[in-house]
């Protein structure tokens, strides 16, 4: 795969990942753009031991433009976009409206004695899977999925070397029901300056398990699911897709490599090649459940950059808020107020429906 890095008109980086070695990416960004915004402000919540990002500039970000105004489509002679080239395979660029960035301004040390403040140092990137505005990830070829995976490996490594970055989170949001602001098929990567609350909870559980048994918690759970078989949706030599026994969402699938690895860069060529066919199969089953495009979030769980890497086990969590053809799962009182999920569909039934889709 050919990698070409250019600079956009406002100084942000864009990287092309091409499947052809003879691809030429010398088109300049001819737009006139204002400087990128400074980093957001992080405020510490002492009641939950969590950081909250306040990014007021994101209120003005682009919201569901028509296809002929999409900023992720290739540029043309009459319309300039975030992608200067007239076509591309996979393109990754620094988000114009980032929640986190390296453009740090001075901040006050605290708001109250209990609420320290610090700059939202990190990085947010957009990952364009294809130049076809009307495509979807489920419609990509296995080769293109491999290209996307290689791009995510490249960015995970590069972002992990930035000052202050502690965790790399690649993800895709699909569907207006989920809250996407652009229809063009794309994902994002967040480089956080802390280990996220969900990951801290998972690592704490993994640490207790390791101290008690000497094993890797996720690897042991995966082995138990493969042995039980009831919630397996699909599998191949290197990966298994299964519905967790304690799934929170109506339809939730983990896609995990059989070999415990901390992150995407650690996958072998064979593991990267085997991921695409299996994941595409699962995505198409999601769309086939109700014969309509399924809104979903696909979230890569990777080990932190600097700590507890031996406790991690890379996996992709895919879930939807759609619980029936005409019904959505809302995070209401128990989920939003207390963080206790109530699932309307038994995980075993969800796996059965996905296998049949």
Region 257-265: what's the mean pLDDT? 98
Tell whether the model's pLDDT for residue 141 goes beyond 80. Answer: yes
- Joined tokens for residue 54: 């306040």
Region 68-90: what's the mean pLDDT? 97
Q: Which of 178, 169, 197, 193 is nearest to 339 (CA)?
A: 197
Tell whether the model's pLDDT for residue 60 goes beyond 90. Answer: no
Per-residue model confidence (pLDDT) at position 183? 96
Say if residue 24 is exposed, middle or buried (CB neighbours under 10 Å; 0-12, 13-18, 19+): exposed
Per-residue model confidence (pLDDT) at position 268? 98
- Residue tagged 């202050």 (tokens): 164
Region 106-135: what's the mean pLDDT? 92
At residue 169 the predicted structure's pLDDT band, cuts being 50, 70 and 90, is: very high
**CA dihedral sign, ordered 258, 281, 133, 59:** negative
Per-residue model confidence (pLDDT) at position 329? 95
Q: What percent of the chain has pLDDT over 70?
A: 99
Tell whether the model's pLDDT for residue 107 goes beyond 80. Answer: no
Say if residue 193 is exposed, middle or buried (CB neighbours under 10 Å; 0-12, 13-18, 19+): buried
End-to-end CA distance of the chain: 34
Per-residue model confidence (pLDDT) at position 105? 78
Q: Which of 167, 176, 214, 152 is nearest to 293 (CA)?
A: 176
- Rounded CA gap, 105 and 101, in Å? 10
pTM above 0.75, yes or no: yes
Q: Which of 226, 195, 189 is nearest to 311 (CA)?
A: 195
Per-residue model confidence (pLDDT) at position 260? 97
- Joined tokens for residue 128: 């364009």
Phi/psi at 44 (5° precision): -85, 130
Region 81-106: what's the mean pLDDT? 95
- Rounded CA gap, 147 and 208, in Å? 37
CA atoms within 13 A on the CB side of 269: 1
Structure confidence by residue, pLDDT tens digits, 172-229: 999 999 999 999 999 999 999 999 999 999 999 999 999 999 999 999 999 999 999 9
Q: What percent of the chain has pLDDT over 90?
A: 96
Contact residues for 200 (Cβ-Cβ < 8 A; gap 6+): none
Give the active site residue among 57, 183, 186, 209.
186
Say whether 183 is catalytic. Answer: no
Q: Is 133 a known ligand-binding residue?
A: yes
Higher local confidence (pLDDT), 225 or 106: 225
Give the rounded distance of the alpha carbon of 304 from its chain centre: 15
- Rounded CA gap, 98 and 27, in Å? 24
- Mean residue pLDDT of the chain comes to 96
Domains and CATH numbers, the chain: 2-194 (3.30.428.10), 198-356 (3.30.428.10)
Tell whether the model's pLDDT for residue 293 goes beyond 80. Answer: yes
Q: Is 128 a known ligand-binding residue?
A: no
Tell me the CA distances in angstroms from 73 to 1, 87, 355, one per residue in order.
21, 8, 35
- Joined tokens for residue 199: 């990951």
- Joined tokens for residue 323: 């619980």
Q: Is 258 a known ligand-binding residue?
A: no
Region 287-292: what's the mean pLDDT? 97
Per-residue model confidence (pLDDT) at position 80? 98
Contact residues for 327 (Cβ-Cβ < 8 A; gap 6+): none
Tell whether the model's pLDDT for residue 106 goes beyond 80. Answer: no
């Amino acid at each position: 795969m050919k990698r070409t890095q250019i600079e956009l008109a406002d100084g942000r980086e864009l990287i092309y990942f091409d499947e052809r070695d003879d691809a030429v990416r010398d088109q300049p960004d001819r737009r006139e753009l204002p400087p990128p915004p400074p980093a957001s402000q992080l405020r510490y919540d002492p009641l939950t031991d969590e950081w909250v990002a306040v990014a007021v500039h994101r209120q003005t970000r682009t919201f569901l433009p028509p296809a002929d105004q999409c900023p992720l489509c290739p540029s043309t002679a009459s319309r300039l976009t975030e992608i200067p080239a007239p076509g591309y395979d996979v393109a990754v660029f620094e988000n114009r409206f980032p929640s986190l960035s390296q453009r740090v301004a001075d901040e006050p040390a605290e708001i109250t004695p209990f609420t320290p403040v610090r700059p939202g140092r990190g990085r947010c990137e957009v990952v364009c899977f294809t130049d076809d505005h009307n495509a979807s990830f489920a419609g990509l070829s296995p080769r293109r999925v491999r290209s996307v995976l290689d791009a995510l490996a490249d960015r995970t490594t590069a972002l992990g070397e930035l000052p202050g970055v502690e965790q790399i989170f690649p993800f895709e949001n699909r569907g207006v029901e989920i809250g996407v602001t652009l229809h063009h098929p794309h994902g994002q990567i967040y480089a956080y300056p802390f280990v996220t609350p969900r990951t801290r909870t998972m690592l704490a559980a993994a640490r207790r398990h390791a101290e008690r048994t000497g094993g890797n918690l996720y690897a042991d759970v995966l082995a138990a699911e493969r042995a039980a078989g009831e919630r397996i949706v699909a599998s191949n030599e290197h990966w298994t897709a299964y519905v967790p026994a304690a799934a929170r969402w109506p339809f939730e699938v983990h896609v995990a490599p059989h070999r415990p690895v901390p992150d995407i860069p650690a996958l072998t060529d064979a593991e990267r090649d085997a991921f695409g066919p299996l994941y595409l199969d699962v995505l198409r089953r999601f769309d086939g459940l109700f014969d309509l495009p399924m809104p979903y979030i696909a979230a890569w769980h990777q080990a932190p950059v600097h700590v507890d890497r031996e406790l991690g086990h890379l996996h992709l969590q895919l879930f939807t808020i759609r619980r029936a053809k005409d019904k959505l799962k809302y995070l209401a009182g128990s989920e939003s107020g207390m963080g206790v999920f109530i699932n309307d569909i038994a995980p075993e039934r969800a796996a059965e429906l996905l296998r049949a889709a």
